[in-house]
Amino acid sequence: MHPQISVLYSKYNNTLRPLVSEIEGRNEHFEEPLLLNVASMFDSIALSEADTDANSRESQVSQAMSFLDISISQSYQYLIKNLDEKMIAFEKKCNVSDRRILASGQFIGKYNSLRSQAKECVRRGRNKDDLHSLEDYESAYKYYSKIEKLIDRELPVQVMQNTRRNSHRWTVIGWFSSIFISVVVGQIVNNYSESIISFFKEWMNVLQTY
């Protein structure tokens, strides 16, 4: 066996497979395009094992490693897309003002820094092909993972703050509503009390005639 084959299998088992498992866990399905490069990788390994020419074997092993790296790069891209959607959803729920007060004001600085670094890595990766963008997407994935942990830690606090804020808001609205209704009803009674009393007097007089 070519010495690089063991390195390739180690990278496949320790890097690609965990990424694929995470993709399946997040999306509840396997991304079929990844199968193409994985299949091509195993084809290249099989060809290298059957080849008797040393240079040709080197070429096949190198190609197998390239297919593996492309699969890993694409896996990072799938996960980045998922994590970016989560980040966008968080920003819609938690506006800038709310973010500024999370973790006693310490959240937003960390969040913005990680977000900026993640976006920059993605930008660099998009300017390269899948084979040469692996390091950029790997770095972006790591930054996005830190962002996710930051959000997961602070989101329950933010939700609780919003719940309290909404509860207080509805309490104030209810208080003002009760005052408003009391004033309106009082005014109506005041304006029409004489008419109501006259009506009842006339009605009582009519009853007495019978």
Q: Let me know if residue 206 belongs to a domain.
A: no
Place of tokens 């010495």: 3
Structure tokens at 104: 């006693």
In whole angstroms, what separates CA 141 from the centre of its chain? 13
Q: Let me know if residue 196 belongs to a domain.
A: no
pLDDT at 199 over 60: no
pLDDT at 8 over 70: yes
User: How many CB atoms lie under 10 A from the CB of residue 59?
Assistant: 15
Q: Let me know if residue 75 belongs to a domain.
A: yes
Q: Average pLDDT in the 168-185 region?
A: 49
Give the range of the structural domain holding residue 161, as residue numbers without chain letter: 3-171
Structural domains of the chain, count = 1
Q: What is the pTM of this model?
A: 0.72
Of 138, 126, 133, 130, nearest to 70 by C-alpha is: 130
- pLDDT at position 170: 42
- pLDDT at position 23: 93
Structure tokens at 197: 């009393």
- pLDDT at position 167: 44
- pLDDT at position 198: 62
Q: Average pLDDT in the 39-57 region?
A: 87
- pLDDT at position 71: 93
pLDDT at 27 over 90: no
Q: Average pLDDT in the 60-80 region?
A: 94
Q: Let me know if residue 210 belongs to a domain.
A: no
Of 157, 162, 160, nearest to 102 by C-alpha is: 157
Instruction: Give 80-99 pLDDT, tens digit per residue.
Output: 999 999 999 999 988 898 88
The pLDDT > 70 percentage for the chain reads 73
Of 129, 90, 81, nearest to 111 by C-alpha is: 90
Q: Let me know if residue 116 belongs to a domain.
A: yes
- pLDDT at position 155: 74
Q: How confident is the prediction for the chain on average, in pLDDT?
A: 80
Q: Let me know if residue 177 belongs to a domain.
A: no
| Cβ-contact 71, 38 below 8 angstroms | yes
- pLDDT at position 151: 92
Q: Let me know if residue 208 belongs to a domain.
A: no
In whole angstroms, what separates CA 142 from the centre of its chain? 15
The answer to whether the Cα torsion of 7, 13, 17, 19 is positive or negative is negative
pLDDT at 163 over 60: no
Q: Average pLDDT in the 32-49 region?
A: 88
Q: Let me know if residue 10 belongs to a domain.
A: yes
**Residue positions counted in the chain:** 210
| Residue 82: its H or E element | helix 54-93
26 exposure class (CB count in 10 Å sphere: 0-12, 13-18, 19+):
middle
Structure tokens at 152: 């997961």
pLDDT at 160 over 80: no
Instruction: Give 125-149 pLDDT, tens digit per residue.
Output: 999 988 789 999 999 999 999 999 9
* DSSP conformation class of 4: H
pLDDT at 162 over 90: no
